[in-house]
Amino acid sequence: MTGWRLRSASAAAAVVLDHLVGDPPDRLHPVAWFGRVMTRREARAWSDHRLSGVRHLGAGLAAAAVPVALLSTGARRIGGVAADRAFSVAVVAATLGARSLDRHASEVGEALAWGRIEEARRSLPALVGRDPAGLDEAEIARAVVESVAENTVDAVVAPLLWAALGGPVGAAAYRAVNTLDAMVGYRNDRYRRFGWASARTDDVLNFVPARVGAAIVALCAPRRALDIGRAVCRQAPGHPSPNAGVVEAAFAAALGLRLGGTNRYGEVVEHRVALGDGRAATPGDIVRARLLARRVTVVAAAALASPFVLELWRCSRTDHPCRGVR
């Protein structure tokens, strides 16, 4: 069986593992380790130049991809194909965040449902970078729906696609870039130059996944497919991110909402274009956004698993000349 089918099936299996196990504690999570390593490196190597940021990005990619490549090779030599596949599934699962995304969104939604707005504000930074102080119920709900939409690509669709393309190394490299973008990809005085390489690379790596994610949203909400297409084509280009706007517009149209507005990030205030033509988000829409994100995750995993399953079915036929697993 060809390698791309095995990579795709491993990515699909990682979704199941993430659903069953979820993220380990931060002290054991490889992404958290990576973040601490890169924070220490930034403290030593920061300078207000793009070239310094390019080197920081290169160091991050090496720190993530090289150990995974070496361990994958070792697993295959010691345990054969089965050990290599198990390692691949574990690595890809570590790059996913579907279960943790759903949990954080649920925590904010439940706090709002019980009228505990201060608790919701305290929980919100786990999902978004904007300043939660002073946000009312509607603004918190909008922030959660937008975060669920964007992170359905960042934490599900994109790592799955890069895992299908490049195996565990591809998934680890993507997660490294995405994490660095979250750490240094800001348009403030400190990171405008230093974070430029990480932010632009993240834009490139998410370009196709964001549009695949929007297409899956349309598949999950077929009655609103035309509205989704219009929102993505007409409204998303006005968003400051070439990718987040695409999937946020898709979610807004699928849910019949209007997203976008004024966001405050510390001292930086951004005015986002309206996405979707529906009503403003309410706390109840957090549940609807979570359910839509789950459907997108299931469809993405099923699409990745289907070539492998189809090949197994073909190989089960006695008259089909299978070549075996490589």
pLDDT of 264 reads 79
- CA dist 166 and 312 (Å) reads 22
Give the start-to-end residue ranges of the domains of the chain.
Answer: 3-316
- CA dist 59 and 194 (Å) reads 13
pLDDT, tens digit, 9 for 90 and up, residues 188-217: 889 999 999 999 999 999 999 999 999 999
pLDDT of 26 reads 83
pLDDT, tens digit, 9 for 90 and up, residues 94-111: 999 999 999 999 999 999
Average pLDDT by stretches of 10, the chain with 326 residues = 84 96 88 96 96 98 97 92 93 96 96 95 91 91 97 98 97 98 91 96 98 98 97 96 96 97 77 93 97 98 94 75 53
Helix, strand, or coil (residue 270): strand
- CA dist 218 and 227 (Å) reads 9
Say if residue 169 is exposed, middle or buried (CB neighbours under 10 Å; 0-12, 13-18, 19+).
buried
